[in-house]
Chain A
Amino acid sequence: MKMHKPCKGRLVNVVLKNAKFWNGKSFELQNEVRLNACETSETVEFDCNGALVMPALFGLGIDFMEPLRDDVYTFADGFDALRKGGFYGGLYESAANPIDDADKFTAMVNRFKSEERGEEAFDIKFLGAYSKGFGTDSLAEMVELAEAGVAGFGDGNGVIPHSRFLRLAMEYGKMTGKRFFFQPMDKTLRHSGCVHEGAYSDMLGMKGIPRIAETIAAYTVLETARFLQVPVHFKQVTCGETLELVRNARKNGIDVTCDVNLYHLLLDDSCLETLDSAYHILPPIRSAADREALWQGVVDGTVNAISVNHTPVLRQDTVVNFEDSVPGALSLEVALPAIWNKLVAKVGEARAIELLSTAPARLAGAESAGESVVVFAPEKTRKVLESDFAGHVCNSPLTGKELPSSILASYINGVWTEL
Chain B
Amino acid sequence: MSALEIKHLFGLRGVSKHDIRLILDHAKQFREILERPVKKVPSLRGMTVVNLFFENSTRTRTSFELAEKRLSADTVNFASSNSSVKKGETLVDTLRNIEAMKIDIVVVRHKGTGVPKFLADNSKAIIVNAGDGAHEHPTQALLDMLTIEEKLGTLEGKNVTIIGDIRHSRVARSNLWGMSTMGAHVTLCGPSTLVPRNTELMDHVTWEPDVKKAVANADAIIALRLQKERMDDALLPSMREYRNTFGITEELLECAKDKVIIMHPGPINRGVELDSDIADGEHSVILDQVTNGVAVRMAVLFLLAGGRNNENA
Shortest distance between the CB of A388 and any CB in chain B (Å): 22
Shortest distance between the CB of B136 and any CB in chain A (Å): 8
B179-234 interface (Cβ within 8 A of A)? 196-202
The reply to whether A206 and B135 contact each other, CB–CB distance below 8 Å, is: yes
Cα distance A275–B116 in the bound complex, in angstroms: 10
Residues on A with C-beta less than 8 A from B118 are 275, 320-322
Cα distance A362–B135 in the bound complex, in angstroms: 45
Given contacts A323-B112, A323-B113, contact A206 B199 (CB under 8 A): no
Residues on A with C-beta less than 8 A from B197 are 197, 202
Which of B92, B110, B112 gathers most chain A CB within 10 Å?
Answer: B112
The reply to whether B133 and A206 contact each other, CB–CB distance below 8 Å, is: yes
Residues on A with C-beta less than 8 A from B13 are 203
Cα distance A316–B88 in the bound complex, in angstroms: 12
Shortest distance between the CB of A368 and any CB in chain B (Å): 44
The reply to whether B201 and A202 contact each other, CB–CB distance below 8 Å, is: yes
Is B90 among interface residues, defined by CB-CB distance under 8 A? yes
0/1 string, A305-342, CB within 8 A of B gives 1: 00000000000100111111000000000000000000
Among B90, B110, B135, B169, point to the contact of A204 (Cβ < 8 A).
B135
A197-229 interface (Cβ within 8 A of B)? 197-206
Shortest distance between the CB of A298 and any CB in chain B (Å): 26
Residues on A with C-beta less than 8 A from B114 are 204, 275, 321-323
Is B117 among interface residues, defined by CB-CB distance under 8 A? yes
Residues on A with C-beta less than 8 A from B173 are 203, 205
Residues on B with C-beta less than 8 A from A203 are 13, 173, 196, 201-202
0/1 string, B132-172, CB within 8 A of A gives 1: 01111000000000000000000000000000000111100
The reply to whether A197 and B91 contact each other, CB–CB distance below 8 Å, is: no
The reply to whether A202 and B198 contact each other, CB–CB distance below 8 Å, is: yes
Cα distance A316–B96 in the bound complex, in angstroms: 14
The reply to whether A202 and B135 contact each other, CB–CB distance below 8 Å, is: no
Cα distance A258–B90 in the bound complex, in angstroms: 38
Residues on A with C-beta less than 8 A from B198 are 197-199, 201-202
Shortest distance between the CB of B206 and any CB in chain A (Å): 16
Residues on B with C-beta less than 8 A from A316 are 90
Shortest distance between the CB of B193 and any CB in chain A (Å): 13
The reply to whether A324 and B91 contact each other, CB–CB distance below 8 Å, is: yes
22 intermolecular pairs with C-beta atoms under 8 Å apart? A199-B199, A199-B200, A200-B201, A202-B167, A202-B201, A203-B173, A203-B202, A204-B113, A205-B136, A205-B169, A205-B170, A206-B134, A206-B135, A275-B113, A275-B114, A275-B118, A319-B92, A320-B91, A320-B92, A320-B118, A323-B111, A323-B133
Q: What residue of chain A has the Cβ atom nearest to residue B203's Cβ? A: A199
The reply to whether B110 and A205 contact each other, CB–CB distance below 8 Å, is: no
Q: What residue of chain A has the Cβ atom nearest to residue B176's Cβ? A: A203
0/1 string, B277-295, CB within 8 A of A gives 1: 0000000000000000000
Shortest distance between the CB of A170 and any CB in chain B (Å): 31
Is B296 among interface residues, defined by CB-CB distance under 8 A? no
Cα distance A321–B91 in the bound complex, in angstroms: 8
The reply to whether B112 and A321 contact each other, CB–CB distance below 8 Å, is: yes
B103-137 interface (Cβ within 8 A of A)? 110-115, 117-118, 122, 133-136
Residues on B with C-beta less than 8 A from A202 are 167, 196-199, 201-202
Given contacts A199-B200, A321-B112, A322-B112, contact A205 B91 (CB under 8 A): no
Given contacts A320-B90, A320-B92, contact A205 B113 (CB under 8 A): yes
Residues on A with C-beta less than 8 A from B168 are 205
The reply to whether A275 and B117 contact each other, CB–CB distance below 8 Å, is: yes
The reply to whether B113 and A206 contact each other, CB–CB distance below 8 Å, is: yes
Q: What residue of chain A has the Cβ atom nearest to residue B169's Cβ? A: A205
Shortest distance between the CB of B173 and any CB in chain A (Å): 6
Shortest distance between the CB of B292 and any CB in chain A (Å): 24
Shortest distance between the CB of A183 and any CB in chain B (Å): 23
Which of B114, B117, B118, B168 gathers most chain A CB within 10 Å?
Answer: B114
Residues on A with C-beta less than 8 A from B136 are 205
Q: What residue of chain B has the Cβ atom nearest to residue A323's Cβ? A: B112
Given contacts A198-B198, A205-B170, A316-B90, contact A321 B135 (CB under 8 A): no
Residues on B with C-beta less than 8 A from A198 are 198
